[in-house]
Each structure stands twice: as C-alpha cells, then as structure tokens.
Amino acid sequence: MRLLIKNILSNGCVLGNVKKMNTTGEYVKANSSKELKRFYEARDITIKQIQELKKENKDMIDYLTIQELMVLDPNLEIEVKAFISEKMSAVDAVKKSMEKYKAGLSNSSSTYLQERILDIDDVTHRIANNLTSIYNSKEIHPYILSADNIYPSYLIANKDNILGIIVKNGGYTSHAAIMCRGWDIPLVVVDADFDEDETVVIDTGKGIVIRELDDAELNDYSNKVANRLSYDKRAVLHGDYLFLANVSSNEDLKRVLDYGFDGVGLYRTEMIFMNTDRPYTLEEQYQIYSDAVECMKDKSICFRTFDIGDDKKLSYLNASKKGIDNYKNNPMLFTQQVKAMLMANKYNNMRIMFPMIESNEEFIYLKNWVSRIALEDNLNIPKIGMMLETKEALNNIESFKLVDFISIGTNDLTSELYKLDRDNAIERLDEYKSDLVDRLKIVVNFCHKNNISLSICGELASVPSIANLFYRIGIKNLSVSPSSIRTLNSIYTDFINE
C-alpha cells in the first residue's frame, strides 16, 4: 500500500521496522501480537535456563522443578494473554498475572503455599529479565521512527539507531529537519498512523511511504538500500565561491572533509550542549572545540556561541526566547564557552559569531566581553562576526561597520520579516522571494563598501530557486547541511552555464 508524502523535510530511501513514539517520548510497546510473541520467547528462554540450572545443581532439582512448572502453568499463559489483549506490555502482563497468583496464595493458611510466594517472585524476575533483554536487543536494531513531532534533543540521543522518521507535523527549517539533512536521515510528513514493528519503506525520490510490502518490493528495496552508499558526493570545482557546511557536532566534520567543503560556516554549538543535562566544564568544552579545530586545521571553522530558546531547549537553562539576554542571565556559561573556544584556537582557523544580534550596541557589548576574556588569559582574538537574522539588525545594517563578517540566517530572518514559522518558510517562498532578495542587495552593498565578508547559512542557501538569486546578487559564500553538497554543485553549475 502506497501513502503519499505530504512534505519531504530530508531526502533518502530507507527500509525498516517502525518504532512508535508517543507524545511524552516513551515508546509504545503494546502491540498485542508482538507482545505475545515476546512472552513466548521469554518463556522458552526461562525454561532453558532452569533446565541448565537443574543439570548443574542436582541438590536443587525439586525447587527448580516447581519453578519450571510455574513457568509452564497453563493458567499463567491464560492470564498473560488476557492482559496483553488489553494492550498491556508482556512484562507488565507477567507481573500482573503473578500478582494475582500471589494474592490467591497469601490468603491460604498453608505454610507450604505461603513459602511458594518467594518462588513466584523469583520466577517473575526470571521472565521479566529475559523480556527486558528481548526489548533491549530489539532497541539496538535501527528503526524507522513514527512520531507526531520530532525534537532535536531526541534526535541527538538516538540518531545512531534511526533509519528514517515519519512525522505528522514538521517544517523544512525546523532544527530537527536541519539535523536530519546533516545526517542523511530521511524525514517526511505523512498523515497516517503506523503500527509498532510494521515494515515500511520511505522513498522520497518517489514521494511515497510503502507499507504492507509484497515480496518483490521487499527484495527491490533491500537491494536499493544496500547499494545506496555509492552516491557521488563531492564538491565540484567552484571558482571563487565558498562551499561551507553547517554542523552540529564533531562527528559531522568527517563528512565536511569527505565531501570537499571549504570550511564550516556555522557550528551550532548549542547542539553539543544538548548532549548532557548539566553544563559542560571548561575542560570538556575545550576538548570538543580543540578536536574540531584540529580536524579542520587548514580550513576555517566558525563557531556560533550557544543559541538557546524556541525549539532548542536545555534542562539547565531557562530561556523562553533566543537572544543575547540568555548570555547576560547566564554569564558563566557564556564566559566559559568563549574561553574554551579561544584556548582551542591553535591554528588561527577559527571564527566566532553571535546569533540573534539586534543592534550594533549588542554586538560591541559581546565583542568587548570576548576581548576581556582573551586579555585575562593572554589569548588571541579571532575574527568576530554576527548572524544577520533579526528585522532590527537588517534595518540597522549601516551601523555594523565593526563586524569582521556577517552570516545571514534566513530561517529566523524570514520568520520575522514575513510572519512565517519554520514549518512553512519554503512552501510560501514565492510570496516573499523577490522582496527578500531586494533587501539582501542592500546588505551585499554595505558589506562590499566596508570590506566585510558575507555568507548565508540559513536553509534557503540550499533551495535552488532562491539560492540562484543569491548567487546573482553576489553572495558567494553559501553554508549548507553537508548532505546538500549536490544541491550546491547543481546551483553553481547552472549559474556558470547560464
């Protein structure tokens, strides 16, 4: 059965089994037929374990035989089946059934039966442990996640096990979508409910999700997926244009080099912060930035100071809104981050950039803060720039004469200018495209006049219909997710062949 994809947020073709996530982020495990299978599997393992124990412990044969009979008791099976049919997980069904059993015995006056309660607890433990191992062994198989929404923190924690994601809601410039494109994880919006463990295919090339696959489809997609790594993903020669990458972790850097990017135009450092539920120490941060700088060595790497708020949340920082108030309210966090960056700048290939700047005063305030940190420890000051992503900064562009470089963040900028949210910025592109290009021409002229280097790191840099226009007005540095290298190649090739 083929379902049409409503919106492709990250491309790819994958085949796998569905894992469902409910709104609280917990997996829904209670698919009755799968749970029953798991119960029988755990029961068989438990019997084998008891039989092994009987061979090794002859003096405990009687006791172990009682346990064996309990596990195989048809009444236990009947009870467990009944609970599972009410959508309970196998492990809960076993515990509930055993509780019922125990309640019956505890009313008995027989000491012998009373003593059997301990055996029941022991047996319950054995089956539950085996069920947990079955769940865990399943958890490490990569899966296709089905969820209403997907958030960056979930992705960061689970990305190694996620083959692809089907959501009910989501937009192209949401951070989860940006990260999926960075990691080549297909992410699609489909209006349908999926069952736990059902086998599906996501094929963004055809714009479909396939369920209830027949043998031919299964075979076809197994081969396709196995061969998919042979894509040619290298930057073509691109003259005096810079092909830069947006990254969220040091793991992304290998691909930045493999794909032939010229450097990193945006390192979203807040994504590293999401890996822990406490602030990183100075040493931990130093190690991360130092490894990144080492990896890029003779290419530039631009770290953006942490940009928390909106859909990017940290458990240890209360920030409802993005912006420099988060630095003022958490001065230690900012100071430590900047200090760790400056200490790591051993090849002078680093740039530091501030997000959500609204005025020149804000920029100078942060630049001075960085200078004080550098001075205190006698560290070099790298080039310092800003994101241009607020309406206020765009209106005040002429005032930013002291910045070393500017990177245009079209995700936030277009949301603010055209009252879009990250979910519909691409769909509504035609409505605001020419106005945006006109406004950016002013920025290009300002940068040209003041010798300020200019790039674009918002997602529009990898949308051909507008990225071509950016090229035409002279924005030569585009920073995109690593997986968008082929889009950059085609934008450049189209441009020079015109």
Tokens of 191: 């209006």
Looking only at residues 357 through 396 of this chain, which bind ligand PEP when binding is defined by CB under 6 A? 389
Instruction: Calculate Rg over the CA atoms of the chain.
Output: 28
Q: Distance between CA atoms of 175 and 353, rounded to whole angstroms?
A: 19
Q: Is 152 in the site for Mg ion (CB under 5 A)?
A: no
The single residue listed with the structure tokens 């489909």 is 190
The entry of Mg ion, ligand PEP, none that residue 457 binds, CB within 5 to 8 Å by partner kind: ligand PEP
The single residue listed with the structure tokens 């492990």 is 91
Tokens of 57: 């412990």
In order of 280, 346, 374, the CA distances from 286 in angstroms are 10, 11, 14
Closer of 382 and 409 to ligand PEP (Cβ): 409
Sheet holding 208-211, edge to edge: 2-4, 208-211, 199-203, 13-20, 143-147, 162-167, 187-189, 7-10
Q: Does an H or E element contain 453, and which?
A: strand 453-456
The entry of Mg ion, ligand PEP, none that residue 10 binds, CB within 5 to 8 Å by partner kind: none
Q: Distance between CA atoms of 227 and 206, rounded to whole angstroms?
A: 17
Count of residues of this chain found to bind ligand PEP when the rule CB under 6 A is applied: 10
The entry of Mg ion, ligand PEP, none that residue 16 binds, CB within 5 to 8 Å by partner kind: none
State the nearest-atom distance from the C-beta of 415 to Mg ion, in Å.
Answer: 9
Closer of 76 and 387 to ligand PEP (Cβ): 387
Among 12, 385, 409, 482, binds Mg ion (CB under 5 A): 409
Q: Distance between CA atoms of 325 and 303, rounded to whole angstroms?
A: 19
Compose the 265-304 pattern: x for residues touching ligand PEP by CB under 6 A, - for all others. -x-x------------------------------------
User: Residue 353 in 3-state DSSP?
Assistant: strand
Looking only at residues 435 through 464 of this chain, which bind ligand PEP when binding is defined by CB under 6 A? 457-458
Closer of 67 and 411 to ligand PEP (Cβ): 411
Side-chain half-sphere exposure of 311, counting CA atoms within 13 A: 21
Among 280, 409, 440, 478, binds ligand PEP (CB under 6 A): 409
Q: Is 350 in the site for ligand PEP (CB under 6 A)?
A: no
Count of residues of this chain found to bind Mg ion when the rule CB under 5 A is applied: 3
CA 321, 322, 323, 328 torsion-angle sign: positive
Contacts with Mg ion, residue ranges (CB under 5 A): 389, 409, 412
Contacts with ligand PEP, residue ranges (CB under 6 A): 266, 268, 307, 389, 409-412, 457-458
